[in-house]
């Protein structure tokens, strides 16, 4: 018989209490309850867009691709309107309780920051949509500035300093991950003793190496995800529930135990 959420969440709370370094690893699934679709669930992004249209190579070579991407971004509300949900808030709570080493995220939506986790505790493996970067001189611009230009009718954005191509500061398909962030994340994963996956299918590499590094170094693994992953059998606690509900329950169980 499947165990109830409060029992499973209680077990996660015990693991957190017994751990020295807790790393939380998040994917698109933590943000679906904020209204941002993930890639692989029914109704996810891949049912509506062709991934081939979003490669780095196309972005650089084809002005039409760039124009489309900037317009999609301007109209999506992804950067400006999406708000953190109870799962993001629970992780921020974990930070406030002094129980969080860091968040390693595949997301580009800035919702961990909005929920109150300090930026220096968040490792964004795939960059962020909060900024644009010049492919020639590396200058970065906040999205607010970009949005003003898009709203003003510009469609192909160039760098204000050198007129190079501007790209969202998020990793596109076919583009490598930011090296320093990847290195730091690998180190944190290797050195933690509890690794909690929230809302990731664990199929995108090198991001999906992180839980592997953690287990190989002896950390305990918790997985909170709606659909199965290839690491489910390695998890000491597996919660097949919505991230918001599950993480809120974990915090409730944790507070209860700490305030006893
Ligand atoms: P994914 O789309 O491959 O998988 C998401 C997983 O989350 C699925 O297994 C799904 O079952 C689960 N899920 C969906 N809603 C959930 C919920 N409410 N509670 C618990 N689990 C839920 O996402 P991924 O593994 O993160 O990899 C896809 C790539 O897409 C990543 O590289 C990420 O950068 C990118 N992406 C990011 C965003 C974002 O920033 N919000 C959105 C879409 C895709
Ligand atoms: Zn430039």
Average pLDDT over residues 225-237: 98
Which of 9, 27, 32, 35 to mutate to test ligand 1, by most ligand atoms within 8 A of the CB atom? 27
163 is catalytic: no
Closest atom of ligand 1 to CA, residue 82: 41
Are the beta carbons of 130 and 110 closer than 8 angstroms? yes
Annotated catalytic residue, options 88, 112, 126, 163: 126
Name which of 4-13, 14-23, 76-85, 113-122 the model is least confident about. 76-85
Closest atom of ligand 1 to CA, residue 105: 34
Point out the ligand nearest to the CA of residue 158.
2
The whole-number pLDDT of residue 37 equals 83
Point out the ligand nearest to the CA of residue 135.
2
Closest atom of ligand 1 to CA, residue 109: 40
* 173: Cα separation from own chain's centroid: 16
Residue with tokens 């992004």: 45
Average pLDDT over residues 136-152: 93
Go through the domains of the chain in sequence order and give each one's CATH number: 1-36+83-126+177-260 (3.40.50.1220), 37-76+128-170 (3.30.1600.10)
Cα maximum dimension of the chain: 63
Mode of pairing for the β-strands spanning 140-142 and 127-134:
antiparallel
At 222 the three-state DSSP class reads: strand
187-229 per-position pLDDT tens digit:
999 999 999 999 999 999 999 999 999 999 999 999 999 999 9
């Amino acid at each position: 018989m499947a165990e109830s959420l409060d029992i499973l969440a209680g077990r996660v709370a015990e693991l957190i209490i017994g751990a020295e370094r807790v790393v939380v690893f998040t994917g698109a699934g933590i943000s679906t309850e904020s209204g941002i679709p993930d890639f692989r669930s029914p109704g996810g992004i891949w049912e509506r867009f062709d991934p081939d249209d979003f490669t780095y190579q196309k972005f650089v070579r084809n002005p039409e691709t760039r124009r489309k991407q900037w317009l999609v971004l301007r109209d999506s509300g992804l950067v400006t309107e999406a708000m953190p949900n109870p799962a993001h808030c629970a992780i921020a709570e974990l930070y406030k309780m002094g129980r969080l080493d860091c968040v390693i995220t595949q997301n580009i939506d800035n919702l961990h920051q909005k929920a109150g986790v300090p930026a220096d505790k968040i490792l964004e493996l795939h960059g962020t949509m909060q900024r644009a970067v010049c492919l020639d001189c590396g200058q970065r611009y906040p999205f607010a500035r970009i949005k003003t230009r898009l709203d003003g009718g510009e469609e192909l954005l160039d760098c204000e300093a050198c007129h190079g191509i501007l790209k969202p500061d998020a990793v596109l398909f076919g583009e490598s991950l930011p090296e320093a962030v990847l290195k730091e994340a690998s180190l944190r994963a290797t050195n933690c003793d509890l690794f909690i996956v929230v809302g990731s299918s664990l199929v995108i590499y090198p991001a999906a190496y992180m839980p592997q590094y953690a287990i190989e170094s002896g950390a305990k693994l918790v997985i909170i995800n709606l659909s199965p992953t290839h690491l489910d059998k390695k998890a000491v606690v597996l919660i097949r529930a919505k991230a918001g509900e599950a993480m809120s329950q974990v915090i409730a169980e944790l507070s209860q135990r700490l305030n006893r």
